[in-house]
């Protein structure tokens, strides 16, 4: 008796009329693809066989023109080979890349699982797609462990034992007991006071905004005021994540610099979008004017250049004219880099930014973003608010 896969070959090999002449473009293309698959040693999967039968049944009147006994063949379908078995897996485990640990979410391609992962975007920090629809990575944090295991374990995911143990430990914690150990007025660890003093200096008057601002950096809890923040300084100081959005339609660079000064947030890294040289030049001019109004005329290093023609030449000349080419050292107050690039010498020095401003473009997953991950204040100063990340905002 004729097998269904042989029937398929008869259909696609018919020359007059061809399947393209009697079927829809999509269905004809699917049959052509399946005909190639059935001739390989791996054959087709069970789901593909169901799709093949479905298309034949839908177009059986037209296909009868090509193969008269098509109804008899599909009435009791048989196949020349066994179906290819597709490996199915759903795994949640810890992985390491460079110096960073991640949670890997790996599964056999599934549109429903992909949608489930996408729905977790707001709850999961650092969630990125590594392989389309099959592998995602997230930061290894307590919150991510709880959120991911709670959402994915009921869906049949295999959880690595170490992750499962972390989850049990975290769930056993009492939130109030943990917070009580890390409140600003109850922390007893001697190194904490040393680090704060090294950061701010002994002579610095520490107000409520500075105390709140450093809570993310040094991982302690403060009593948040029920009063809504009234200005940019208070917005930044009371942020709930490292990333903030500043609406450049409502706030200028001077305002940001003033808030950073009040919060003792220098040195500063400024990130430029170099895709449009003319816009990049305007941003540098704006930075120059803002710095001079703010009283900063030195200790500035812009560590990238544009092509030395046209607008790029003007950009490079402005850096030279304003002496924005200081050698990086511990006294450098402000540096500028191109989005997506980090000078190698920056990785070999102890200099680190206390604040980051990304001008005109959201700081996304690239080399610059990775470098700034250790900074606890990153301001996206753009016209439009980021869609994905949870952040404090200023409008």
**What are the phi and psi torsion angles at 161 (to 5°)?**
-55, -40
Q: How many distinct helices (H) and strands (E) make up the chain?
A: 18, 12
What's the chain's average pLDDT? 89
Q: Are strands 100-107 and 90-97 parallel, antiparallel or unpaired?
A: antiparallel
* Amino acid 395: pLDDT: 47
Domain boundaries, the chain: 4-75, 90-173, 177-231, 239-394
Report the percent of the chain where pLDDT is more than 70: 96
* 192 pLDDT above the threshold of 90: no
Distances (CA, A) of 190 to 180, 193, 196, 214, 293: 17, 6, 10, 17, 41
* Amino acid 230: pLDDT: 87
Q: Which CATH class is domain 90-173?
A: alpha beta
* Amino acid 279: pLDDT: 95
Whole-angstrom Cα distance, residue 243 to residue 72? Answer: 65
Whole-angstrom Cα distance, residue 5 to residue 12? Answer: 11
Q: Which residue has the higher pLDDT, 305 or 121?
A: 305
Mean pLDDT (whole number) for 27-52:
93
Mean pLDDT (whole number) for 140-168:
94
Q: At what angle do helices 208-218 and 190-200 cross, to 10 degrees?
A: 120
Judge contact between 393 and 249, C-beta under 8 A.
no
- Residue 35 pLDDT grade (very low, low, confident, very high; cuts 50, 70, 90): very high
Mean pLDDT (whole number) for 189-206:
72
Q: Which residue has the higher pLDDT, 167 or 187?
A: 167
Question: What does the pLDDT look like over 80-89, one tens digit per residue?
Answer: 999 988 778 8
Strand partners, 159: 92
Whole-angstrom Cα distance, residue 377 to residue 237? Answer: 10
- Does pTM surpass 0.75? no
Judge contact between 358 and 339, C-beta under 8 A.
yes
Mean pLDDT (whole number) for 13-24:
92
Instruction: Identify the CATH number of the domain defined by range 239-394.
Output: 3.40.50
């Amino acid at each position: 008796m004729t097998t269904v896969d042989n029937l398929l070959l008869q259909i696609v090999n018919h020359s007059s009329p061809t399947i393209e002449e009697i079927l829809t473009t999509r269905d004809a293309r699917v049959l052509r693809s399946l005909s190639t698959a059935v001739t390989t040693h791996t054959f087709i999967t069970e789901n593909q066989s169901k799709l093949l039968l479905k298309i034949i049944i839908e177009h059986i009147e037209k296909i009868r023109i090509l193969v008269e006994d098509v109804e008899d063949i599909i009435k009791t379908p048989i196949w020349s080979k066994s179906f290819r078995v597709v490996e199915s897996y759903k795994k949640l485990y810890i992985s390491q890349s460079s110096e960073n640990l991640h949670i890997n979410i790996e599964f056999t391609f599934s549109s429903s699982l992909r949608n489930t992962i996408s729905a977790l975007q707001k709850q999961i920090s650092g969630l990125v797609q590594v392989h389309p629809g099959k592998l995602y990575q997230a930061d290894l944090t307590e919150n991510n462990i709880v959120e991911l295991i709670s959402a994915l374990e009921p869906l049949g995911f295999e959880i690595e034992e170490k992750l499962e143990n972390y989850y049990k430990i975290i769930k056993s914690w009492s939130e109030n007991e943990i917070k009580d150990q890390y409140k600003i007025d109850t922390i007893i660890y001697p190194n904490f006071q040393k680090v704060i003093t090294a950061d701010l200096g002994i002579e610095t008057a520490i107000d409520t905004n500075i105390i709140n601002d450093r809570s993310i950096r040094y991982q302690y809890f403060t009593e948040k005021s029920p009063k809504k923040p009234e200005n940019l300084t208070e917005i930044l100081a009371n942020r709930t994540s490292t990333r903030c959005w500043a609406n450049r339609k409502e706030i200028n660079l001077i305002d940001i610099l003033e808030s950073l000064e009040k919060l003792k947030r220098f040195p500063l890294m400024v990130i430029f979008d170099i895709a449009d040289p003319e816009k990049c030049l305007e941003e540098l001019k704006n930075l120059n004017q803002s710095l001079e109004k703010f009283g900063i005329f030195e200790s500035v290093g812009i560590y990238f250049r544009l092509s030395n023609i046209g607008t790029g030449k003007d950009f490079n000349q402005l850096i030279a004219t304003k002496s924005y080419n200081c050698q990086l050292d511990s006294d450098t107050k402000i540096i500028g880099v191109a989005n997506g690039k980090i000078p190698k010498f920056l990785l070999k020095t102890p200099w680190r930014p206390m604040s980051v401003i990304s001008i005109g473009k959201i700081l996304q997953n690239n080399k610059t973003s990775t470098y700034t991950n250790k900074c606890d204040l990153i301001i996206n100063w753009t016209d439009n608010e980021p869609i994905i990340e949870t952040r404090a905002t200023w409008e």
